[in-house]
Chains A and B, each alone.
Chain A
Amino acid sequence: MGFWEHLWLGVLTVFTVGPAFEIFGIPISITLLMIVAGFCIGIIVGATPGLAGPMAMAIALPILISIFGVKQDALLPVLGFLIGIMKGATIGGAVPAILFNTPGTPDALLTTFDGYPMAKRGKARKALKAAHFASASGDTFSDLVLFTSAPFLAIMVERFLDLPEKTGLIILSLSFIAAVVGRSAAKGLISAGLGLLVAYIGKGEDFYPRLSLGQEALADGFPVVTAVLGVLILGEVFKGLEDLLRSGPQARDLSQAEASADNRFGWADVRACWPYIRSSALIGTAIGALPGIGSTLAATLGYASGRRSHARKNPEQARFGSGRIEGVAATEAANSAVSGANLIPVLSLGIPGNAAAVFLILAMDSIGGFNPGPSVFKLSGGVTGEGVNPELVVVFGIFTAMMVANALNWSLGGLFMRSVGVMARIPKHLLLPVILLLTLTAIYVQLTSMAGVYFAIGFGFLGYFMRRIDMSVLPFVIAFILGRNLEDTARQAFAATGGDALFLLHSPIALVFILVSVAVVAMAFWRSEAAAPPESHHEPKTGK
């Protein structure tokens, strides 16, 4: 089957399979319904300081699996819901940032710089409209880049990379993530090493489960959900609770200024913001495509680039930071442009680049039938090689789901995001203990074992201590997920090269990957450890 047939099947799967109900005789599919639900929940979650998209994805996943099971036709409804959350949370984060000077998500911190001064002048609605327009533009652009570049990248990988090169590529990705995430490359290496070590407990080729200390509970290794949810979600909850214990419940200024007359976002505003949206969307997309670099850096670079450009072109006008609508647009376009591009390494290489991508891979892994990586883009399927490749149909289904979410974003997103400002009023100290119980319950219902809950609590404390010693948890999680894949590929490469212990050095491409890995870590170490002044340690105060 050809490209267009797979594409059409993917679109049809989203719109027609599993009709949930009818509107005027038109059947609404369950996938469509889940995208809408995920998108609305994403906006609410994004607008709630203390919650975040990945947190909602983590809590939702076990519920979704309980509803849909682990059948092949569960994939698109579940992924559609998670993609909806991912996209909704991105625009939702701007709401409390503009209205109350409290970023709903960390990447919306820079939105406060211009958004809140605008709100204080009675132009909150205008700032929200600009944030929505920029966010939807950046997101759509990023998705279009994903649709065109992911298949191309996958085909290149399949054509030019054999087993040693694929091993080298995974090592390069892990090194890159370890080196660039967080402030210390050395601690990033430790984090990735710990993730790999935990991934290798219990699961090996030999009859005896390695590193299991003779314990039956460790024989099959740690369930993925316990390590991922423990380190990412419980660790964050513990850290948040300790911060609140130290500072006491945070009082926020939730008063809003009287709305001024000029709250329209017209063509003149679009024209003024467009150059900044354009360059920020490019920056966000480029950053999103690289594993490990998150939307916060994209927002920072987008804002910095916009500020420089604005100061150069308009020296007579007030600068960014004083309530410029262009500042809001530059930040929101950059952080939203990350969400589509971060699926490029997921779909084409099977490598998650950020926390949201981790949960998409977790969903694919839990349900089965879809193994992200270069092979999903093969046009041939079935025994004869001329049938349907169901994984490619799922890929086009995912792309369709993303476009549906974009359409929702453009049509209803702005209206909905302007109505969820109330979420910022929920105190964080009431929210965090509830999230703790909810996450532990979600883990239990998925594993039906208290051992799983205890493991997750253990990983939660690990995540807490990692945060406290200023060690990023993302390299741990991604190394944990890629650990088995890395070992399997290396085993196959070793066997395929006839037991060549230096197989990574004998292939020119693999050698380049290894050299680049070493260079990336060395450069990051040099920059982060030697150059960073100690005063730069303090984190900006966010709503997280």
Chain B
Amino acid sequence: MKHNNKGELVLGLAFLAFALFVLLIWVPLDTDTGLIEKVRRRWVIGDALAPSVAAVLIALGGGLVTINALLGRGEPMPLGWSSLRFAGLSFGLLFVAFLLMRWIGPLAVTLAGEAESYRNLRDTLPWKYLGFLSGGFVLIFVSIVAVERRLTVRAFLVAVLAPLIIALVYDLPFDDLLLPPNGDL
């Protein structure tokens, strides 16, 4: 059965273009050895061969998707603007959550007028939990509220308790583990 399949055509062409970019630009410019090299009078496989083979596979797949779309075969692609919008919003939520995770601890230490820096306090109570709990709360609370489309006590409780339980599971039994983002600070 033939049908309009513009999305698949765009997809096939996009992967074809990406493969050509990898094969003709990225691999030659960002690899120091060729496909095969002569090292100490012996031929060896260079670093460029394996990624080139990968690019050929992508090109082959992209070409087949394109041919199918041109012939009106295959299945309509379900990816649409709503998926891109969801990805953008999810990225924004994760960005805010990790921003809080990264800065709430140091900010609280500064506001509390502690003599020590956050780095020195990052494995002590209550400082070590502040970033993780606040970032985790935002991530979970906003996700649940977005699905339920209303503020609920249940969403609040899950968003408070789940990060706390995760923090305790990792932190209480293991002395050498640091919760995010304390290992980087």
Instruction: State the A residues within 8 Å of B (CB).
Output: 63, 66-67, 183-194, 196-197, 200-201, 204-208, 210-214, 238, 241-242, 244-246, 248-249, 429-430, 432-434, 436-438, 440-441, 444-445, 448-450, 453, 457, 461, 464-465, 468-470, 483, 486-487, 490-491, 494-495, 498-499, 501, 525, 529-530, 532-534, 536-537
Give the residues in chain A near B78, CB-CB below 8 Å.
Answer: 468-470, 537
Closest residue on chain B to residue A201 by CB atoms: B51
Give the residues in chain B near A244, CB-CB below 8 Å.
Answer: 147
Q: Shortest Cβ distance from A171 into chain B, in angstroms?
A: 10
Closest residue on chain A to residue B147 by CB atoms: A429
Contact partner of B144 among A214, A429, A440, A537, CB < 8 A? Answer: A429
Whether B64 lies near A529 (C-beta < 8 A) is yes
Cα A192 to Cα B61 in complex, Å, equals 10
Closest residue on chain A to residue B39 by CB atoms: A205
A-B contact pairs, 14 of them (CB 8 A): A186-B62, A200-B54, A205-B47, A210-B32, A238-B90, A433-B139, A433-B143, A434-B140, A434-B166, A437-B162, A448-B178, A450-B181, A487-B45, A491-B44
Instruction: State the B residues within 8 Å of A (CB).
Output: 1, 3, 11-12, 15, 19, 22, 26-27, 30-33, 36, 42-48, 50-51, 53-62, 64-65, 68, 73-79, 82-83, 86-87, 90-91, 94, 98, 102, 132, 136, 139-140, 143-144, 146-149, 154-155, 158-159, 162-163, 166, 169-170, 173-174, 176-181, 183-184
Give the residues in chain B near A450, CB-CB below 8 Å.
Answer: 98, 102, 180-181, 183-184
Give the residues in chain B near A490, CB-CB below 8 Å.
Answer: 45, 50
Give the residues in chain A near B90, CB-CB below 8 Å.
Answer: 238, 241, 461
Contact partner of A183 among B1, B59, B75, CB < 8 A? Answer: B75
Q: Shortest Cβ distance from B88 into chain A, in angstroms?
A: 10
Q: Shortest Cβ distance from A506 into chain B, in angstroms?
A: 15
Contact partner of A206 among B15, B47, B184, CB < 8 A? Answer: B47
Closest residue on chain B to residue A197 by CB atoms: B54
Give the residues in chain A near B146, CB-CB below 8 Å.
Answer: 245
Interface centre among B3, B15, B46 (most CB of A within 10 A): B15
Give the residues in chain B near A213, CB-CB below 8 Å.
Answer: 30
Whether A193 lies near B154 (C-beta < 8 A) is no
Give the residues in chain A near B139, CB-CB below 8 Å.
Answer: 433, 436-437
Give the residues in chain B near A66, CB-CB below 8 Å.
Answer: 170, 174, 176-177
Whether A444 lies near B74 (C-beta < 8 A) is no
Cα A272 to Cα B51 in complex, Å, equals 55
Closest residue on chain A to residue B137 by CB atoms: A437
Whether B87 lies near A63 (C-beta < 8 A) is no
Closest residue on chain A to residue B63 by CB atoms: A186
Q: Shortest Cβ distance from A520 into chain B, in angstroms?
A: 14
Given A186-B65, A429-B147, A436-B143: A491 and B45 within 8 A (CB)? yes
Whether A193 lies near B61 (C-beta < 8 A) is yes
Give the residues in chain B near A187, CB-CB below 8 Å.
Answer: 61, 65
Given A210-B31, A532-B75: A249 and B148 within 8 A (CB)? yes
Q: Shortest Cβ distance from B151 into chain A, in angstroms?
A: 14
| SS class, residues of chain B in contact with chain A | helix
Contact partner of B170 among A193, A211, A248, A445, CB < 8 A? Answer: A445
Q: Shortest Cβ distance from B6 into chain A, in angstroms?
A: 13
Contact partner of B45 among A208, A494, A532, CB < 8 A? Answer: A494
Cα A196 to Cα B27 in complex, Å, equals 14
Give the residues in chain B near A241, CB-CB below 8 Å.
Answer: 86, 90, 143, 147
Contact partner of B179 among A201, A445, A501, CB < 8 A? Answer: A445
Given A211-B27, A461-B87: A440 and B65 within 8 A (CB)? no
Whether A190 lies near B43 (C-beta < 8 A) is no
Give the residues in chain B near A210, CB-CB below 8 Å.
Answer: 27, 30-32, 47-48, 51
Whether A494 lies near B44 (C-beta < 8 A) is yes
Closest residue on chain B to residue A490 by CB atoms: B45
Closest residue on chain B to residue A185 by CB atoms: B64
Whether A189 lies near B64 (C-beta < 8 A) is yes
Contact partner of A190 among B26, B65, B79, B162, CB < 8 A? Answer: B65
Give the residues in chain B near A525, CB-CB below 8 Å.
Answer: 64
Closest residue on chain A to residue B91 by CB atoms: A461
Cα A214 to Cα B32 in complex, Å, equals 12
Contact partner of A499 among B42, B74, B174, CB < 8 A? Answer: B42
Closest residue on chain B to residue A247 by CB atoms: B147
Contact partner of A530 among B48, B73, B169, CB < 8 A? Answer: B73
Whether B54 lies near A211 (C-beta < 8 A) is no
Cα A191 to Cα B11 in complex, Å, equals 13
Contact partner of A197 among B22, B42, B60, B155, CB < 8 A? Answer: B22
Give the residues in chain B near A434, CB-CB below 8 Å.
Answer: 140, 158, 162, 166
Given A490-B45, A495-B44: A468 and B79 within 8 A (CB)? yes
Whether B147 lies near A211 (C-beta < 8 A) is no
Give the residues in chain B near A468, CB-CB below 8 Å.
Answer: 78-79, 83
Closest residue on chain A to residue B7 by CB atoms: A469
Q: Shortest Cβ distance from B23 into chain A, in angstroms?
A: 11
Whether A444 lies near B62 (C-beta < 8 A) is no
Give the residues in chain A near B87, CB-CB below 8 Å.
Answer: 238, 461, 464-465
